[in-house]
Structure 1
Amino acid sequence: MDAHGRRHAGDIDPADQWVFNPNTGSYELRLTPAADETPVSYGDGARPTTPRRRRTSSAAGTESDVETTELQVPSQRSPQGGAGGGSGGGRRAANASRRKPKAKLSRKQKVLRWGGGSAALILVAGCGGVYLYLEHLNNNIDKVDVGIDNPAVTDGPANILIIGTDSRTGKGNKGYGDAGSVGHADTTLLLHVSADRSNATALSIPRDMITDIPACPTKQDDGSTKTISAEQGVRFNTSLGQRGRDPGCTWRTVQKMTGVEINHFMMADFNAVKELSAAVGGVEVCVAKDIDDPKSHLKLDAGKHTIKGEQALAFVRTRHSVGFGSDLSRIELQQQFLSAMIRKMKSSNTLTDPGKLFDLAEAATKALTVDSNIGSVKKLIGLGKDLRRVNTDNITFVTAPVVDNPEDKASVVLDESKAAPLFKMLQQDKSLTKTKKDKGGKKDDGGLGKVKPAPASEVRVDITNGGGPVGAAQSTVTWLQNEEGVALSTNAGNASENLSKTRLEYAPNQASQAAALVKMMGLPGSALKKASADAGPEEPMKLTLGKDFTEAGQPIDAPAKTPEGVKEVNAGDKNVCAK
């Protein structure tokens, strides 16, 4: 029986199908291939190595070259002959290996542990599979063509949209009520992984946030495309499921909101939380007070607890018994749970045990829906290998800054003053976690030094458009006058030249005015050009908007650190406790 078949015959342990091949010196998983398939070998710590050519016999009895991926299997368990069984020499080699002293974790095993950690982040929030490596799991994965062709990114930042749907599909989930619902974008995170893979930011998006949902094309069962019309001023969670919207609609909504180009999405249901937490033996969480939530049915005494299965799902769904009883309080629980799951997966022996790994992979892929560009285990492996370098201590969770909606206290709206610089950090690949590369660098201040910014009423500036959107100069003047109090700002029309970068020209005696404008507009030091001579008493500075200018009120340069008032949770922090 092959590994595919174990779902229908639970008494066969997939670990017993690992067979030692004396010709290659490694263990191989012996499967019964379909007529047009080639057996695939797997390896130590389940990390694919460079494919190599080997000879195999075709149905006609001739030999052909077949490219296979070889891996080496952990030797904790005794390999037994599966389909295509091993030789006696293979069994002797396996027995000999068991008599050797226990070796330290190999590099491949360490890599596998990291892959599990990244899978925790993805799976619990609503998706997963970065460590999955078995081709027979492909049939478990649901794929959606969202009409966006973004291949996996290996040479730049990676942005993955993680969606957790509250659809009651899946075993044991109808009891949560609303069984007929098509589901919503109940839990949504935008995972940004830096280009150098040194850090990652997970941005939680509140489900009750009022936003605009753009028009989005959706693929129908008959192959046709139906465009769902745009909506303004609706809850974010309606970007999925409602009116026939698919994950591509949530994708487009988040991309428009943040200005961050998304590469892929992953989505899963309630079972991802239940089954993954059980597979790793539970996840440790902390609550600062007793919890007895009648809505989620979570009952915990104050202190630390190890939770899994239904209890884990109840934990990430709880909101009425913590914080202010809102969705924002629930997000804090989810971020604590995700952080703990990542740490558990990276330190657990689960991912060095082939049997447990198979069960974990099976459960994960059954709960998984992804975009068609990564809709196979092979592609998910590639993504996982690329992202595995991020250190747990360099993963930061934040929530999109919001304020109460004055028109509806049960919902929230984006706090633009904090959200704009935060989104700019993601757009410009700026880390929210201070890594070693970030420390000690001197920030370019454009020669301003520690000059105190002048009052807005004293700032005098002429603004020209040298590459920004049409009308950028006037919209900036309007914003400066109405929002920042810069009454002496003037629209000077189009610039004589186009610039790729915005530029502010100022005189030495205008330094305090320049400092004020830098702070208001988020100008980088490189945008400042200082003249050699002082300006006249009423002479204005000159601001030329370049191609890097997007819109008034949006900072041109990302801040050096997380905007004030934006709460962070570090995945490596073991002392987080829900209040």
Structure 2
Amino acid sequence: MSDPWDGPRGQATRSRTSPVPRQRDAEPGAERPTDGRVASASASRSASRARGGHGARSRPTSRAGRALRIGGIGLALLALGATGAGWWVYQHLNGNINSVSLDGKGGTEKADAFGRTPINILVIGSDGRTSSEDCRLGGGCAQTGVQTQTSSNADVEMVVHISADRSNATVMSIPRDTMTRVPACADAKTGRSTAAYYGQINSALQFGPACQVATVHQLTGIPIDHFVKLDFAGVVRMSDAVGGVSVCVSDNVYDTYSHLKLAKGAHTLKGVAALEFVRSRHGFGDGSDLGRTGTQHLFLSAVMRKLKSAGTLTDPTAVYGLADAATKALTVDDALGSVKKLVGLALDVNKVPARRMAFTTMPTAPDPANRDRVVVGAGAKALFAAVAGDRSLTTGSGGKSATAAPSAKATAAAPAVPASRIAVTVENGTTITGRASAVATALTGQGFSPATTTRNAPAPATSTTLTYGAGQEAEARTAAEALGLPASQLRQGTGRGLTLVVGGDWPSGTTYPDNSPPAAADSGTAVPNAHAQTADQARSCAPVSPYKTVSLDGIPMTPSQAYAAARGVPDSDA
């Protein structure tokens, strides 16, 4: 199905191989934006649509609800966390939520050394027109009518990572036109199934949310605990319920595709005007989906700042309106399928300061087989590893962090004592049978003395320690280096010889796990081209495109030129 507002379905994120996007000819003498989307109607027809009121003027696309859908989950979760209404309200909101089993397809998060577990949520913005309201907002239903859920694509995908200690969060956007392997999937709800195939990542949603989760997990290696899927019917109501969202644009802008028209400077956008802002691709950046992602991040940052500072969550009427609208729009996994569970998640989200909320976009490169598609680019694996490893992209003060520091393993000079002359007594201080034997075998396998022995520790041990006698520090460092044991685990004792007590912090393997606090990744160098920013950047303005990415009366022009030419079209926030 074609999307009348944003070009044919599947038209893609532009591959940025030159400083200025190449314009494609629509017909002799007429230029088109690089991504091949159909140009807008004439100014008079645009104005006619625009003047019919917001409902008539703006027919948002399947992409329209992108940032607002994501903003919607933030609104919903925080609102639910604050609501204190009675049992009826609880039951009413609980009844609004639709839940689907994830079937364990997203992997499992691992707890840190203190038993705390990170949270990873895949936030999905569906393009389905499954109601008359969705059709009105999304367009594209004139001939097909209300569609079934099986036609939906995931035109928004954001991995929301909340750290194990709840001190920081990362929101990573995955461009919808990324080409990847989709695993074999079957949707228990609809009965649709597929063999594994290579295709556009957003197509996996056609086989159920669990399939979309499995696809993202397979691409990134990031465990995905939960998903939240939103349509765009309730999103407009939520943007109104929060009282509008403050945004800023760097110049006059008129995107003739999304109908966003704003003068340079700050604005407060509600409802359809907010949709026009977050769906605008041709108005900002280089006129591509990648540029639009950064604009969406600015919008979401503004949403979070407002929720945290404007007293929204202390207003019972606003709280209920947000919660009611949001839960009606939500489909979640079973583990989030109640108000109580969403409240818990809301409290976790609310613990993260705005300055520690980092927004990024997966780095991409042009797909060699199709210039209208993208593939994983340089730096993406570093970003995936940072998220999967629970490493923050910000420092404690909220600034971009320095390059990750090396692990705190023992870094002594070359050992002065050969391993063959060192015997170690290995004691099992865990409740796991065979731990001492496994570590001792690893030592002798590396050339340590066959006199190495094992036994049970006299008492359970929480931490692993290596105790050495007087004058045996060099031997201890040799053993520690072989085992990957940090220097901080070494102790000088009163007896002779080396005694290694394997504690509860080393439950498996023959190399000591690095349980040191995760180092921060550098959002400027470790994840290049990821458009990293934090939620407290209140003065950031969306950069209006300097290229001829829009068209008015068939004439290609910049969004600022279009603003000047369309004097009869009122601004979106008028």
Instruction: Give the structure-1-normalised TM-score.
Output: 0.56
- How do residues 131-142 of structure 1 correspond to structure 2 at under 5 angstroms? 131-132=79-80, 134-142=90-98
1:339 corresponding residue in structure 2: 301
CA deviation after TM superposition for structure 1 residue 163, in Å: 0.7
CA deviation after TM superposition for structure 1 residue 173, in Å: 3.4
- Given candidates 128, 141, 154, the residue that maps to 1:185 is 154
CA deviation after TM superposition for structure 1 residue 124, in Å: 3.2
Greater relative CO, 1 or 2 (CA 8 Å, sep 6+) = 2
Distance 1:131 1:358 in 2: 7
Q: 1:281 to 1:442 in 2, by over 3 A?
A: same
User: C-alpha deviations, 1:181-225, integer Å up to 9, x for none?
Assistant: 52211111001111000000000000011111111231136xxx6
1:158 corresponding residue in structure 2: 119
Report the 3-state secondary structure (helix = DSSP H, G, I; strand = E; otherwise coil) of the residue aligned with 2:156: strand
Q: 1:440 to 1:296 in 2, by over 3 A?
A: closer
1:373 corresponding residue in structure 2: 335
Distance 2:348 2:308 in 1: 17
Distance 1:260 1:127 in 2: 25
Q: 1:142 to 1:127 in 2, by over 3 A?
A: farther
Distance 2:527 2:324 in 1: 43
Q: Is the 8 A contact 2:380 2:527 kept in 1?
A: no
Q: Which consecutive unaligned segments of at least 5 residues does structure 1 have?
A: 1-118, 450-494, 499-523, 528-545, 549-556
Q: Which moved more, 1:370-379 or 1:193-202?
A: 370-379
> What letter is aligned with 1:315?
F
1:280 corresponding residue in structure 2: 242
Aligned length: 358
1:238 equivalent in alignment to 2:203: yes
Report the 3-state secondary structure (helix = DSSP H, G, I; strand = E; otherwise coil) of the residue aligned with 2:340: helix
> What letter is aligned with 2:170?
T
2:18 corresponding residue in structure 1: none
Distance 1:352 1:265 in 2: 27
> What letter is aligned with 1:203?
M
> What letter is aligned with 1:424?
A
Q: Is the 8 A contact 1:199 1:390 kept in 2?
A: yes
Q: 1:120 to 1:345 in 2, by over 3 A?
A: farther
2:566 corresponding residue in structure 1: none
User: C-alpha deviations, 1:32-75, integer Å up to 9, x for none?
Assistant: xxxxxxxxxxxxxxxxxxxxxxxxxxxxxxxxxxxxxxxxxxxx
Q: 1:374 to 1:497 in 2, by over 3 A?
A: farther
- Given candidates 198, 202, 207, the residue that maps to 2:176 is 207
Report the 3-state secondary structure (helix = DSSP H, G, I; strand = E; otherwise coil) of the residue aligned with 1:173: helix
User: C-alpha deviations, 1:551-572, integer Å up to 9, x for none?
Assistant: xxxxxx9874231523201101
User: C-alpha deviations, 1:507-564, integer Å up to 9, x for none?
Assistant: xxxxxxxxxxxxxxxxx9979xxxxxxxxxxxxxxxxxx999xxxxxxxx98742315
Distance 2:381 2:402 in 1: 24
Report the 3-state secondary structure (helix = DSSP H, G, I; strand = E; otherwise coil) of the residue aligned with 1:238: helix
- Given candidates 536, 545, 550, the residue that maps to 1:572 is 536
- How do residues 37-56 of structure 1 correspond to structure 2 at under 5 angstroms? none
Instruction: Give the structure-2-normalised TM-score.
Output: 0.57
Q: Is the 8 A contact 1:126 1:269 kept in 2?
A: no
CA deviation after TM superposition for structure 1 residue 436, in Å: 5.4
Q: 1:258 to 1:128 in 2, by over 3 A?
A: farther
> What letter is aligned with 1:567?
H
CA deviation after TM superposition for structure 1 residue 123, in Å: 4.2
Distance 2:101 2:446 in 1: 43
- Given candidates 207, 210, 227, the residue that maps to 1:265 is 227
> What letter is aligned with 2:139?
G
2:62 corresponding residue in structure 1: none
Distance 2:542 2:320 in 1: 33
2:381 corresponding residue in structure 1: 420
CA deviation after TM superposition for structure 1 residue 306, in Å: 0.5
Distance 2:92 2:382 in 1: 44
- How do residues 541-560 of structure 1 correspond to structure 2 at under 5 angstroms? 560=521
Q: Which consecutive unaligned segments of at least 5 residues does structure 2 have?
A: 1-66, 84-89, 413-443, 448-483, 488-508, 512-517, 544-574
Distance 1:424 1:440 in 2: 14
User: C-alpha deviations, 1:309-368, integer Å up to 9, x for none?
Assistant: 011111111101211111101111111110001111112233212122211111111111
Report the 3-state secondary structure (helix = DSSP H, G, I; strand = E; otherwise coil) of the residue aligned with 1:202: strand
- Given candidates 357, 361, 379, the residue that maps to 1:395 is 357
1:167 equivalent in alignment to 2:128: yes
